[in-house]
Amino acid sequence: MGRLCETEGLTEDQTEILKAVRTFVEEKILPVATELEHADEYPQEIIDGLKELGIFGLTIPEEYDGLGESLLTYALCVEEIARGWMSVSGVINTHFIVAYMLMKHGTEEQKRKYLPRMATGEVRGAFSMSEPGLGSDVAAVKTKATKNDGGYTIDGQKMWLTNGGTSNLVAVLVKTDEGADSVYKNMTTFLVEKEPGFGETAPGLTIPGKLDKMGYKGVETTEAVFEGHQVSADQILGGAPGQGFYQMMDGVEVGRVNVAARAVGIANRAFELAIAYAQQRETFGKPIAQHQAILFRLAEMATKVETAHAMMVKAARLKDRGERNDVEAGMAKMVAAEYCNEVVQDSFRIHGGYGYSKEYEIERLYREAAFMLIGEGTSDIQKMIIGRSLLKDYQLKG
């Protein structure tokens, strides 16, 4: 391993966990990642290995049978996993967000019901906010839960569910009629149980099948169609309706740290491939790494990787301390995603014609990097969040 993406101030436990994950990535993920990705094959053996490592319960408190580790520990593990294959980090990302939302906002009964089984991976979480007609415009949610004598009836269509097929617990944001003046206070998060798989996975809930994607393969992305799905009031996250928007935004905030970590992992791997190839490939009588144009490109790539890593670590540590980190999470996600794409593109260029061949790993990274620009909010959305927060912080007096 090189000197990039090293993190100061880690505990002995954090260091040991990262060492174990890094070894797992080197031995179990990197050798098979490109083959599985090209086949769009679900990495079941890898997932089983991550269960044994305790990754599914990494941040779940010990009282609920998890490891009780921090967001920083999780983000650093995700960075390592994404370095091996970004899709694998996607398998655990939405699971982590649902577990986080339960830890922060769930009732004690909900925590005891789900968290111990989430820690082992028996219960697998998915996160559902987007719809066919909306992404970042959360106020436009149309899927609705109507109150009835037995609880609620959910009708509508959700989109872009990572783990939509393999999950058996979905946190779903819907509209409810709370009589509030603000649209944001008329939203509720339901914990919807279903069977893994495709088709009708619960009465009134259909998962049609996998969406075919440019990259981010292996892990399934799906729609979810609700047609008269019945759910009890006990399945409202936190027990009280009308809190869904704020619960989801809290989950998305830690998700942005996660996406930043995934982007850093991809970028770091792209740099590793580039600097290795540049020392092997010769032109005009010497390795291309000795040509100034390539040397400068490598220097810029490494600097971008290190900058993105540092910003991601700062955002995670702020959240772990219980401090506000909306600006820092947005900055980290934006910078990491943009730099990831730039570093991958530079690595692609260094590989020359071979970079366009599916035999070379950089071809896969090139397609994976594009998703980082979209996941958990585009760069333009991050700029809006950052800019509005900064205007409040720096508002002129008088």
pLDDT over 80 (residue 135):
no
Q: Is it the case that residue 324 has pLDDT exceeding 90?
A: no
| pLDDT computed for residue 28 by the predictor | 97
* pTM for this predicted structure: 0.94
163 φ, ψ to 5°?
70, 20
pLDDT at position 2 over 80: no
- For 183-221, b where at least 16 C-beta lie within 10 A, e where not — what string? eebbbbbbbbbbeeeeeebbeebbbeebeeeebbbbbbb
Output 129-133 pairs: Cβ under 8 A, ≥24 positions apart: 129/158, 129/173, 129/248, 129/252, 130/158, 130/159, 130/160, 131/156, 131/157, 131/158, 131/159, 132/157, 132/159, 132/223
Is there a contact between 102 and 114 (Cβ–Cβ < 8 Å)?
A: yes
Burial class (CB in 10 A: 0-12, 13-18, 19+), 58: buried
CA 209 centroid distance within chain: 21
Lowest-confidence range among 120-124, 297-301, 305-309, 380-384?
A: 380-384
pLDDT in the model for residue 75: 97
Q: Which of 131, 328, 368, 376 is catalytic?
A: 376
Local confidence band at 14 (pLDDT 50, 70, 90 cut-offs): very high
Q: What is the pLDDT of residue 1?
A: 59
Lowest mean pLDDT, pick from 38-42, 179-183, 214-218, 374-378 = 374-378
Whole-number average pLDDT of the chain = 94
- pLDDT value at residue 144: 97
Condensed to tens digits (0 to 9), the pLDDT of residues 330-367 reads 999 999 999 999 999 999 999 999 999 999 999 999 99
- Is the model more confident about 152 or about 255? 152
pLDDT band at 384 (very low <50, low <70, confident <90, very high): very high
Over range 291-320, report the average pLDDT: 96
- Residue 6 bears catalytic tag: no
82-111 pLDDT, tens digit each: 999 999 999 999 999 999 999 999 999 999
CB 335 within 8 A of CB 309: no
Could you identify the residue written with the tokens 């700029």?
Answer: 383
Cα–Cα nearest to 350, from 312, 372, 342, 58: 342
pLDDT digits (tens, 9 = 90+) for 150-176: 899 999 999 999 999 999 999 999 999
Given a contact cutoff of 8 angstroms between Cβ atoms, the answer to whether 225 and 184 are in contact is no
CA 130 to CA 141: how far, in whole Å? 8
The structure tokens listed for 234 are 């006990």
User: Residue 324: CB partners within 8 Å, gap ≥ 6?
Assistant: 318
Query: Which residue bears the tokens 């509209």?
Result: 175
The average pLDDT across 40-60 equals 95
Tokens representing residue 176 in the block:
């409810």
